[in-house]
A and B are shown apart, each in its own frame.
Chain A
Amino acid sequence: MTDIKQTDMEEITIATDVLVIGGGLAGVRAAAEIADLGYKVTLAEKSAALGGSQQNPGALFGLSAEEQRTVADTIQAVSAHAQVDVLTQTRVAAFAGVSGDFTVTLATAGDVRQQKVGAVVVAADFTLQPLNAAYGLSLSDGVVSQSQLDALLADKAAEARLGGKVVAFLVGFGQEGNPLVMKRVMKSVAALAAIEGCTVYVYVNNIKVAADSLEKLYMEGRSKGAIYFKLTEAPHVSPDGKAITYRDLVVRQDVELNPDLIVVEEALVADAENRQLAELLRIDQDAWNFLQSDNVHRFPIQTNREGVFVVGASRGIQDLPAVWTDAENTAMAVKGFLGNGTKRVPKGKAVVDNGKCTFCLTCYRCCPHGAIYWVAESNKAIISPVACQTCGICASECPMDAIQIGGFSDIELKAEFLGNLAGGAPRIVAFCCQNSAFEAGQMAAQFKMTLPAGLQMVKVPCAGKVDLDYILTALAEGADGVLVLTCHEGNCKSERGNTYASWRVEDAQRMLVEAGYEKDRLRFATLASNMGKEFSTLLLDMEARIKELGLSPLKN
């Protein structure tokens, strides 16, 4: 194992069919683009029709007539495309396998089918959530949500009903808001203001106009007579919705308005089924259930799993042009991943020793990239060289030490950090993630910043590779201090390598205290690759602390 070089390559055949989940705006466009590149696509939509499952996308996205036509054309093209298999009323019932070789079970009313796909594109929709409760209101004849207003306006009889009425909008106090929320408001404001005798007031916090043509839409409403009150805190609204009181900062007094109709803003939230889908596909979510974690290394549309992509609303993208761009980028990314169905991958990235593996599933559960799987015939963990990013988390968590990472095997790493523990100056073993701390350390050395004479940097592929056993063994064998240096939170290329490392350091410190040793001999810190200066400071500080504690009494 240890002599496997990263340059040894092997060729792997993968499936090239693609599954697109969700037939909304993003899904149909992604399916069309991918099919145009020559791949066979299955488009699974949970509702009965394509085009945005839960709401009228035209109204939701504030699409222009031209944009609506483009959407309709795309839906048509996809439905007629020879390379696209459209399945409506279809859900993903089960999902197994690994990047390039997924097995998906699709359930269509009364029918279940299984198929192999190489890549998956998730294109879930938004769900709209009226925020009336944030204003202490219940929806009623006099208090409606933005969606209800949209429906009202779509009805031709609306004009007659709304003429001569006073309509008040409440926006931006129930949520931070965003351009798409504003766009919907402004479109209906302009429509209402155009109705003879209809008076429109908008109580708004921040007016978000940072998107194409929003400024224009805003001016359009104003020029037709709509009045905007930009407030720093929410106006007071009587529970029946009959009176809105706000503090006018110019005249410095409370002003009351009695609207005929109040329109409350709506939040665009992640589809209620995202959580379930994320669990099924084993992809990360953010705090709002959008299907992408907040990680600076995650390019748009990528997930923590190779070959699984997220587009449009499923990752929180709201604007049609941006959704279109997402779909195009995804098609390119799918092509980049699938190619012609053969992939060259390094051999021995991460390998399971079948003799040692007890099939406990720890590695499967810990791998942040969903790279570990098994097949019934073997009943041992298998690591996919296509999906594995060599973070080493699995290797450090495996209770049987059954996993070795190419170029970073236990034997190699131990020989490295145990080989040089004698000597006068405090020996500080610094386990450094190669993506951050290791570069920072090299920078510090290159720029001749002061570093401890006894510093020994140990490069690891990710802090996730720093084993509890490495930390304790280094100290037990006489290292004077041990540092575990990782990327900042939210910055780990493998999502959780730094988190695992921090847990292990905590655990090791607890054990050191149990064993009667100073826990200050072990430290955890996060660094960025350009933080050479901080690296030097951190290490000198550690060295100073070691000098206070004295050299390790554990040296052989």
Chain B
Amino acid sequence: MIVAERKPFQEIKDMLKDAKKVLTVGCGTCVAVCLAGGSKEVGVLNAELKIARKLEGKPIELGAATVERQCDREFLAELDGVIDRYDAVVSMACGVGIQFLAERYPQIPVFPGVNTTFMGANQDVGWYEERCRGCGTCFLGITGGICPVTMCAKGLQNGPCGGTNNGSCEINQDQPCAWQAIYERLAKQGRLASIMAICPPTDWRNQIPRTIVQPGYAKRKQLLAK
């Protein structure tokens, strides 16, 4: 899931300093699950803003809405019309949702309410850990299910580096060496051969936004283009 955290209040307040009527829009999927931007967090942010702005003598009018997913236009459509009553929007979705919302309503300033941080797993309520950087060429098959792009400080695809230090990474004693972990897991499975071959580097140059069309839908996309 995509993990985000609420932006510092001061920053949100500053972005909204000229706005008088603001709609805060939550997203009911990833950011709700990571307790950063669901309907609860929308209510809490609004209450905080209301207090701060009243104290400054610049009361603000606030609306709240939470849609299922801000990255789906069908759900965003629920805001059509509603949104025109406001002079700014705070989106609590991840960067994807914020952009998709801003794209749909180009006439109105859309501000981010969260910092989108990573793709990660739920360790416990309110506790998330990064596991994938979306490199586009997943190596997990040869690395025993441990991602070196994410877990290795240098993102090495052929490791470890010379800094590996008894299981720790050279950047920090408390940071485990991803390649040590990869080695150990593969050794246990008797699959060390899988990291003996040199793995070709990912081409990080000239990265442009990636698009995926699932094979079965290529025709559908062509149809849409017409």
Annotate A500-543 by CB proximity to B: 1 below 8 A, 0 otherwise: 00000000000110111100000000000000000000000000
Q: Are B39 and A400 in contact (CB under 8 A)?
A: yes
Convert A393-421 into 0s and 1s, putting 1 for each residue whose CB lies closer than 8 angstroms to a CB of B. 00001111100000000000000000000
Give the A-B contact count at a CB cut-off of 8 A. 84
B40 neighbours in A (Cβ, 8 Å): 398-401, 467-469
Residue of B nearest to A474 (CB): B47
- Chain A residues, CB < 8 A from B35: 360, 362, 399
Does B197 make an interface contact (CB < 8 A)? no
Instruction: State the main secondary structure of chain B at its contact with A.
Output: helix
Is B167 located at the chain interface by the 8 A CB criterion? no
Q: Give the B-binding residues of A (Cβ under 8 A).
A: 356, 358, 360-362, 365-366, 397-401, 467-469, 472-473, 475-476, 511-512, 514-517, 553-554
Q: List 6 A-B contacts (CB under 8 A).
A: A361-B122, A399-B35, A399-B39, A468-B44, A517-B52, A517-B55
Asked whether A358 lies within 8 Å of B43 as measured between CB atoms, the reply is no
> Is B32 in contact with A511, judged by CB distance below 8 angstroms?
no
Complex Cα gap A516–B51 (Å): 8
Q: Give the chain A neighbours of B44 by CB distance below 8 A.
A: 468-469, 472, 511
Known interface pairs A358-B33, A397-B125. Does A515 touch B51 (Cβ–Cβ under 8 Å)?
A: yes
**Are A399 and B33 neighbours in the complex by a CB distance under 8 Å?**
yes
User: Is residue B66 within 8 Å, beta carbon to beta carbon, of the partner chain?
Assistant: yes
Residue-wise, chain B 33-75 has the 8 Å CB interface mask toward A (1 for contact) of 1010011110110011111101110000000001000000000
Cβ-defined contact, B33 with A515, below 8 A? no
Complex Cα gap A472–B46 (Å): 9
- Which chain A residues border B124 with CB–CB below 8 Å? 365
Q: Give a binary string over B1-38; 1 marks a CB under 8 Å from any A CB, 0 the rest.
A: 00000001110000000000000000011001101001
Q: Is the CB of A360 within 8 A of B33?
A: yes
Shortest Cβ gap from B166 to chain A (Å): 28
The answer to whether B125 touches A366, judged by C-beta atoms less than 8 angstroms apart, is yes
Q: Are A512 and B51 in contact (CB under 8 A)?
A: yes
Report whether A553 and B47 are in contact in the complex, using a CB–CB cutoff of 8 Å.
no
The 4 closest A-B pairs by CB, nearest first: A399-B38, A472-B47, A515-B52, A360-B33
Contact between chains at A365 and B125 (CB < 8 Å): yes
Residues of A within 8 A of B54 (CB): 476, 553-554
Q: A359: nearest residue on chain B (CB-CB)?
A: B33
Given contacts A401-B39, A516-B56, A554-B55, contact A469 B47 (CB under 8 A): yes
Residue of A nearest to B1 (CB): A360
Least CB separation from B68: chain A residue:
A358
When A366-B125, A473-B47, A553-B54 are in contact, do A514 and B9 touch as well, CB less than 8 Å? yes
Q: Apart from A472-B47, A516-B55, what 6 extra A-B contacts exist at CB < 8 Å?
A: A401-B40, A472-B51, A512-B51, A515-B51, A515-B55, A554-B51
Are B51 and A399 neighbours in the complex by a CB distance under 8 Å? no
Q: How far is the CB of B22 from chain A (nearest CB, A)?
A: 14
Cross-chain contact A511 with B9 (CB below 8 angstroms)? yes
B32–A400 CB distance below 8 A = yes
Contact B52 A356 (CB under 8 A): no
Give the chain B neighbours of A468 by CB distance below 8 A: 40, 44
Residue of B nearest to A410 (CB): B43
